[in-house]
Amino acid sequence: MKKEDTTKGNRYGMVIDLDKCTGCGVCLIACASENNIPVMYDESDKTRNITWLQIYMVTNGKEFPETEVIYIPRPCMQCDNPPCVPVCPATATDKDPTSGIISQIYTRCIGCRYCMAACPYHARVFNWFDPWFPEGMDRYLSPEVSPRMRGVVEKCSFCHHRLMRAKAKANVEGRRDLKEDEYIPACVEACPTKAITFGDLNNPKHKISELIKSPHAFRLLERLNTEPKVYYISTKNWVRRMADNYLSGEFKDRS
Amino acid sequence: MEADPKEARKSTKGGWIFLLAGLIGALIVGWIIFPVLLYSEKSQPLTFSHASHGPESDAGLDCEECHFFYKDGTFSGIPKIKKCIECHEDPESPLTESPEEVKLFTEYVGPEKEIPWLIYSRQPDCVYFPHIAHVKMAEIECSVCHGDFATRKTSPPYKVNRLTGYSIDIWGRNIAGYKRNTWDNMKMDDCAECHTKKGKEDNNACFVCHK
């Protein structure tokens, strides 16, 4: 397979500092309200509800007082080598050549859910029902994000409409390139502990390019070669070990 | 009794007439009657004359007076009634003798009600179109996509597809999708065609125009 050149264009990515994340869930709320995510009749049905951003709670499995708990927010990884894209029979999803964001076109999706099976991060969700919003809540819907219908797959888009908004604003000044703080997704903006950093991985001046060089930076299931653009940082050894499947004794501390 | 083979051959003669009649009938239904039935026609709430407002008219308004960009780069589109009131303020002294202006005063300016314009070029909900990227950055004239609107004296009827609910200006007036002018159709392929022609193939990626 020909290796794609990922040094061209923008490659938007995210660094989530797990040592700073408190698991408060504000990013989830911000994501849901930003992206017109509908409310289900029974939100406790976690096999059917819609979440673009999920928080996983993991512990080191030790007894008190050695117990440690961390929370892993998991948006779409926007992989450089996305497993979901080549399997789509309808070409409803592809990798944007200029931003590196994996698109999902709802009107093109046929709902076969092949991409959901292909995604090792469970980042994609299926609309089992037509969208429904409690009375009054429909007035808070964003016109910038198109609502999804029953029978299609959806996923995190790094708040792609915010990128479009930022570009339009930059065009007023005649610019085509964006500054670092002009485009950030809703979850990044909402995070109260500033655990999430967002930026262009191809731009060495962006803070994110510095952060991913940290010896404590890692990605989820790196061995699958999906090349996620979402990085995590944790100083805890057991957290980094948990991010992938290792044989006993195989994992070496990379610090 | 056996049928005379010559007789049998004779009886099938002339069958092609029925074939032709059926074919022509089907073609007429498919290419002429169906496209007419497919669209229902609505007229605009008011007849608006771009010709009598534009830069070369007595009013002498610049296009940007009504169709301007906001500071954040979004396009204002069709102006609100407040913009109309700036000139059409006093029902006692109308600017023209047109009965349409009387209608404007009585129905919209008086109660300050927005005019429910029918938008010819409204795209489906899944489409994102930044006017600023096309008008300012690419310097494309309005008429490339919208046609000769700026010089029109009347508002043409708004035709809406009974099946899809979209305006005829999206699919185009020709059912086969054939177009003579750049503004005849406003489908995805038409956007892509122009992007490719201008060497902007990257802009044909899904997440440039879809949201």
pLDDT digits (tens, 9 = 90+) for B133-145: 999 999 999 889 9
Domain count for chain A = 1
Give, as one character, the DSSP assignment of residue A37: P
| A252 in a structural domain | no
H/E segment holding residue B41: strand B39-42
Band of pLDDT at residue A152, cut at 50, 70 and 90 = very high
- Residue A255: the pLDDT is 41
- Residue B57: the pLDDT is 83
The CATH code of the domain that includes A18 is 3.30.70.20
Identify the residue among B122, B125, B211 best suited for mutation to test binding to A, counting A beta carbons within 10 A and taking the highest: B211
Give the model confidence (pLDDT) of B158-172 as tens digits.
999 999 999 998 988
Give the model confidence (pLDDT) of B19-49 as tens digits.
999 999 999 999 999 999 999 999 999 889 8
Mean pLDDT of A225-232: 94
Tell me, what's the ipTM?
0.83
- Residue A203: the pLDDT is 92
Residue type, B154: T
CA B157 to chain centre: 9
Q: Cα separation of B68 and A116, whole Å? A: 43
A153 neighbors A103 (Cβ within 8 angstroms) = no
Q: Which residue in A183, A219, A213, A210 sits closest to A198, CA to CA?
A: A183
B200 in reach of chain A (CB within 8 A)? no
pTM for this prediction: 0.88
- Residue B174: the pLDDT is 85
Which pair of structure tokens corresponds to residue A11? 């490659």
Q: A160 and B69: CB-CB below 8 Å? A: no
Least CB–CB distance from B207: residue in A147, A160, A165: A160
Mean pLDDT of A229-243: 92
Nearest C-alpha in B relative to A103: B207
Q: Which residue in A28, A13, A33, A34 sits closest to A180, CA to CA?
A: A13
Residue B118 has pLDDT above 60, yes or no: yes
Q: Cα separation of B165 and B169, whole Å? A: 12
- Residue B149: the pLDDT is 83
Residue type, A209: S
| A198 in a structural domain | yes
Residue A22 has pLDDT above 90, yes or no: yes
Residue B55 has pLDDT above 90, yes or no: no
Least CB–CB distance from B73: residue in A97, A106, A171: A171
* CA dist list (Å): A123 to A82, A115, A119, B38, B161: 12, 10, 7, 41, 37
Q: B137 and A168: CB-CB below 8 Å? A: no
Mean pLDDT of B2-31: 80
Provide residues of A within 8 Å CB-CB of chain B.
93-94, 96-99, 101, 103, 105-108, 144-147, 157, 160-161, 164-165, 167-172, 174, 176
- Residue B92: the pLDDT is 79
The range of the structural domain enclosing residue A44 comes to 12-242
Give, as one character, the DSSP assignment of residue B69: B
Kindly report the average pLDDT of chain B as a whole number.
88
Q: A96 and B208: CB-CB below 8 Å? A: yes
Which pair of structure tokens corresponds to residue A77? 């990884």
Angle at B151 between CA B145 and CA B154, to 5 degrees: 100
* CA dist list (Å): A82 to A4, A38, A118, A203, B103: 12, 26, 9, 21, 58
Phi, psi of B27 (to 5 degrees): -65, -40
Cβ neighbours for B44, distance < 8 A, ≥ 6 positions apart? B117, B118, B155, B157, B158
DSSP 3-state of A233? strand
Give the model confidence (pLDDT) of A45-97 as tens digits.
888 889 999 999 999 989 999 999 999 999 999 999 999 999 999 999 999 98
Looking up tokens 């092949």, which residue turns up? Answer: A114
Mean pLDDT of A159-183: 93
- Residue B63: the pLDDT is 86
Nearest C-alpha in B relative to A154: B211
Least CB–CB distance from A103: residue in B69, B202, B207: B207
| A1 in a structural domain | no
Which pair of structure tokens corresponds to residue A94? 């592809």
